[in-house]
Structure 1
Amino acid sequence: MLHVINTKKSPTPLGPYVQAIDIGNITFVSGQIGIRPDTNVIPDNVYDQTYQSLENIKNIIEAADLQINNIIKTTLFIIDINDVPIINASYIKFFHSSSSYEDTILPTRSCVEVSKLPKNAKIEIEAIAARIL
């Protein structure tokens, strides 16, 4: 059974899609850019955009009764491959500060350079989270 996940703690979708769909043991989260849901502002730098994108994902999966530790895969869409070291620093900080485990296991990941993202964002991140039985 499909269950649409929607939370006001993350930005409203920018197009005809939902924030996430839960199919029971797996939740698929739509790509999130670094929009702050309370202000609709996107930070100027890729470090803060990365962190906010992940915060948005966290809020969505928490609405599905999941945690950061349940994320098994992320896909990063970035406009400049040279930003990867900065993105990695923000990404690692987020997962280590948000995980409830002492030894954080990072999810699998793909990273793709693209020519442009919505609202001129520097990064967009989508995620897949799974319920561990």
Structure 2
Amino acid sequence: MKRVINTKNAPAPIGPYNQAIMVKDTLYVSGQIALDAATGELLDSTIEEETTQVMRNLKAVLNAADLDFENIVKTSIFLSDMSLFAKVNEVYGKYFVDNFPARETVAVKTLPKNVNVEISAIAVKF
């Protein structure tokens, strides 16, 4: 049986989906962008700020399911331009200590609200 995970500490979905779905011990987190949950504003003055907000949103969804970054087994990173890879990777790397998750990073033509980065995740309760 699946359980819907939603929290006010992360941006509300902007379409017909949920922030995350828990199936047994696996959490599937929808792609997060740099929207501030409190204000609804996009925090994108720099790619570092944008990525930091994305990671905060991921953390809020994970925490709503009683999980954290160490539970993540896979992420998908979507970039508006591959030239942003190094800066996004630098911020992203600060959220993981070791046993890094599997990951792919791809450049796409456009992302919701014309952001530069979106990250989704799969996490497992150990």
TM bucket normalised to smaller: over 0.9
Aligned residues: 125
Partner residue of 2:113? 119
Unaligned runs of 5+ in 1: 97-103
TM-score by length of 1: 0.89
Matched, 1:19 2:16: no
Within 2, Cα distance between the matches of 1:46 and 1:95? 19
Alignment of 1:9-88 (within 5 A): 9-43=9-43, 44-88=45-89
Offset at residue 58 of structure 1 (A): 0.9
Q: 2:102 aligns with which of 102, 105, 108?
A: 108
Q: Secondary structure at the match of 2:57?
A: helix
Offset at residue 62 of structure 1 (A): 0.9
Within 1, Cα distance between the matches of 2:123 and 2:25? 8
Task: Please tell me the residue identity of whatever aligns with 1:21.
Answer: I
Deviations 1:21-58 (CA, angstroms, capped at 9, x unpaired) = 00011000000001111121222222111111111111
Give the conservation status (yes or no) of the 8 Å contact 1:34–1:42. yes
Unaligned runs of 5+ in 2: none
TM-score by length of 2: 0.94
Give the conservation status (yes or no) of the 8 Å contact 1:28–1:128. yes
Counting aligned pairs with the same residue, the percent is 41
RMSD: 1.0
Give the conservation status (yes or no) of the 8 Å contact 1:76–1:123. yes
Offset at residue 95 of structure 1 (A): 2.8
Matched, 1:8 2:8: yes
